[in-house]
Amino acid sequence: MSSVRVAPWEDGEFAPSELLAGMQARRPNGELIGIDRVLLRSVPLATGWNELLRRVRAEFSLELEYRELIMLRVAVLNHADFEWGVHYPAYLLAGGTEEKCLALKAQSVTNNIFGEKERALIALTDQSTKQVDVDAEVIEALKHLFGETKAVEAVATVAAYNMVSRFLVALAI
């Protein structure tokens, strides 16, 4: 973490115990990672961030494999290597493949290894991340393939992980 642009929070510094417990609960082995330690520089930010991302990661009905696919694609598009490193193993555990990971790294994903639902999610992620505006046809396809709730959750996952990647990249985490 030597290149991080702000001093990360250190063990022993003040942070509300409830917040620390919540952040640790989201991490394997309860280990805080780089982004957590930077977020802890602002307790209100860390509190809201932790709650939002916990819900995206644990409570959405959109299947975890699809959420992780979105997270990886956002990481590629925004050059967020840290984000890729965190979500790559999670995507594989959720059912993704090495071949799909490699295909996601292309600037334009045209690989036929992705199914219809995955291609719709990649189209959403690419448009929302690169140009912000998303074609109505992409949203209609998502609603047809997933239903309205999961379509909304897919859009929210893209938005949330764009927030994450932009934070990571700006602060060199």
* Check whether domain 64-170 has CATH 1.10.3720.10, yes or no: no
pLDDT at 2: 58
pLDDT at 129: 98
pLDDT at 28: 86
What distances in angstroms separate CA 49 from CA 44, 84, 87, 108, 141, one per listed residue? 8, 19, 17, 30, 30
Task: Check pLDDT > 50 for residue 161.
Answer: yes
Dmax (CA) for the chain in angstroms is: 51
Task: Check pLDDT > 50 for residue 1.
Answer: no
State both tokens at 94: 């959720």
- Domain spans, the chain: 17-58, 64-170
- Average pLDDT for residues 129-148, to the nearest whole number? 98
Which segment of 24-28, 43-47, 63-67, 96-100 scores lowest on mean pLDDT?
24-28
